Amino acid sequence: MSSAWLEVLRSEVKKTSLQKVADKTGLSRTLISQTCNDKYPGDLERVRQVVESVFMGAKVNCPILGEIPQHLCMAHQKKQAGELGDNPMAIKLYKACRSGCPYSQIDETELLRQPIRLHVADVGEQKAAVALYDASAVIRRLERQANSDAGTSGSVQKIMNDLLKSELDAMAVRYNRLLKQLQRDGK
């Protein structure tokens, strides 16, 4: 069993250490050692995907975040509903992973009964229309959400700060995606 990803894994272990590779990949030292020595009895496909993503730059086109490393896609899929909190982006990702995303490896029994609509752009596909960002509408929505959430859990200002941070993170993802698209288009 010798392939490019396995050679890359072995090379990374030799260059750094088993522990550093384990930390980067999120895989156990035992799993990495067994894989490098052709003795791992488990799912090599999952190990291959993690190695290709972390060390070889494999990416997927997430319907929510755009182009992301494959290992981050896998990490989003592992999150359970109880881990999401009230972060709107985390909730969107959770729903997308369980609504038929082509990169999802989630078992069919865990898919949503009422999936959300997903649009996964093919490589090179251009979107015809772009919705403009309405900052005042977003601020009003966040204020309403902060006021309703504060009724049960505390300070409106703290909740509003958390919501604004989440919104800024989401805007950064969209903005960076647009910049990458402009770079690809040569503009």
Per residue in 100-127, pLDDT (tens digit) is 788 888 777 766 666 666 665 544 444 4
Sign of torsion over alpha carbons 108, 112, 115, 119: negative
- Concatenated DSSP letters of 50-79: HHHHHHH--EEEETTTEEEEHHHHHHHHH-
Q: Is the separation of the CB atoms in 121 and 61 below 8 Å?
A: yes
61 Cβ contact partners less than 8 Å away, ≥ 6 residues apart = 67, 120, 121, 122, 123
pTM: 0.52
Q: Is the separation of the CB atoms in 29 and 37 below 8 Å?
A: no
Residue linked to tokens 């982006």: 89
Distance between CA atoms of residues 141 and 113, nearest Å: 27
pLDDT digits (tens, 9 = 90+) for 129-168: 445 666 777 777 777 777 776 766 667 777 777 777 777 7
Q: Which two tokens stand for residue 60?
A: 């997927």
